């Protein structure tokens, strides 16, 4: 993947130096936070609320406020994430008005270690990267990229780029109103909650592919990068993860789609580069 380091994106919030959660009340260290979480689970009460205050304190943004210890390799990784984030959002700045007659607004990407507070609850390393529509932020612990390579067998920079582009795809869904419609349908039809979740995730894969199509046109990626992206999409399919975790597959419990489905929809976005080709809700089973 051809990219040029250019510092840290202004759309990044770097919380890796935080000792605990950034909240309005007294801050807990990670050890204290974990203890409070355990007590909350035991007693069925949210004891974190006693420490959270009423408002979340503003998190630092951009490179000027980054006070975090990092290795040279991690610093380079932050610049790579910044490049992908900025490139993806610049692409949607152009594509969304052109193809959907809708202005794009930038999401923020939060870098953290271990755990942090999000508008959707506590973000933890073990949950993996995710997008929170409530605060329009993507949350990523960079350690996930090591897991993507070592545990899921999806190495390469474009595999990492796919993950970021997928989460930005969720932001695009939020802007287009798809997220609210899907959630409303799930609430009205609980039995369809997981199938709808699968279609939401597959559409985000397709939107990631739409950005990938743009990078291919600009010679940022080549065929080997495309294969790395497809491999990453397949690596995080529900069937593959379930087989690794429990030794068997339960299709009725899928929430993200099978490896074949994720690869298929990412490929569709890569090939066509059009939002209109990503309507997973009208696609057959």
Rounded Cα gap, residues 157 and 176, in angstroms? 29
Question: Which residues, in sequence order, are CB contacts of 201 under 8 Å at separation 6+?
Answer: 255, 256, 257, 262
Contact indicator for 27, 21 with CB cutoff of 8 Å: yes
pTM: predicted TM-score of the whole model, two decimal places? 0.82
Cβ atoms within 10 A of the Cβ of 167, count? Answer: 23
Q: Domains of the chain (ranges plus CATH)?
A: 12-22+59-278 (3.40.390), 23-57 (no CATH)
Percent pLDDT > 70 in the chain is 82
pLDDT value of position 37: 54
Mean pLDDT (the chain, rounded) = 85
Question: Which residues, in sequence order, are CB contacts of 16 under 8 Å at separation 6+?
Answer: 68, 70, 111, 112, 113, 142
pLDDT value of position 279: 96
pLDDT value of position 4: 81
Residue 70 banded pLDDT, cuts 50, 70, 90: confident
Rounded Cα gap, residues 79 and 142, in angstroms? 12
Rounded Cα gap, residues 245 and 237, in angstroms? 12
List, for residues 12-34, the tens digit of each pLDDT value: 999 998 755 544 444 444 445 55
Query: Facing residues of 45 across strands?
Result: none
Stretch 257-284: mean pLDDT: 93
């Amino acid at each position: 993947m051809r990219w040029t380091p250019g510092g840290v994106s202004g759309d990044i919030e770097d919380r890796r130096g935080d000792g605990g959660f950034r909240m309005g009340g007294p801050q807990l260290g990670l050890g204290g936070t974990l203890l409070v979480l355990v007590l909350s689970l035991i007693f069925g009460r949210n004891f974190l609320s006693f420490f959270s205050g009423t408002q979340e304190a503003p998190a630092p943004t951009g490179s000027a406020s980054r006070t975090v210890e990092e290795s040279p390799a991690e610093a380079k990784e932050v610049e790579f994430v910044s490049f992908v984030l900025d490139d993806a959002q610049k692409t949607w700045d152009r594509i969304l008005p052109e193809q959907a007659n809708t202005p794009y607004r930038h999401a923020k990407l939060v870098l953290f270690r271990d755990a942090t507070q999000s508008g959707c609850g506590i973000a933890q390393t073990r949950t993996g990267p995710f997008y929170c529509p409530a605060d329009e932020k993507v949350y990523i612990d960079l350690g996930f990229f090591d897991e993507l390579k070592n545990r899921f067998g999806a190495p390469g920079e474009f595999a990492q780029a796919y993950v970021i582009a997928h989460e930005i795809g969720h932001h695009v869904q939020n802007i287009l109103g798809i997220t609210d419609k899907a959630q409303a349908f799930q609430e009205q039809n609980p039995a369809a909650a997981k199938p709808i979740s699968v279609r939401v995730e597959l559409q985000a894969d397709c939107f990631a592919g739409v950005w990938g199509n743009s990078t291919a046109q600009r010679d940022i990626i080549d065929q080997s990068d495309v294969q790395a992206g497809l491999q990453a999409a397949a690596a995080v399919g529900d069937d593959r993860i379930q087989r690794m975790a429990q030794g068997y597959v339960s299709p009725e419990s899928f929430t993200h789609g099978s490896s074949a489905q994720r690869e298929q929809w990412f490929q569709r976005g890569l090939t066509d580069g059009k939002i209109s080709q990503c309507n997973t809700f009208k696609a057959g089973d």
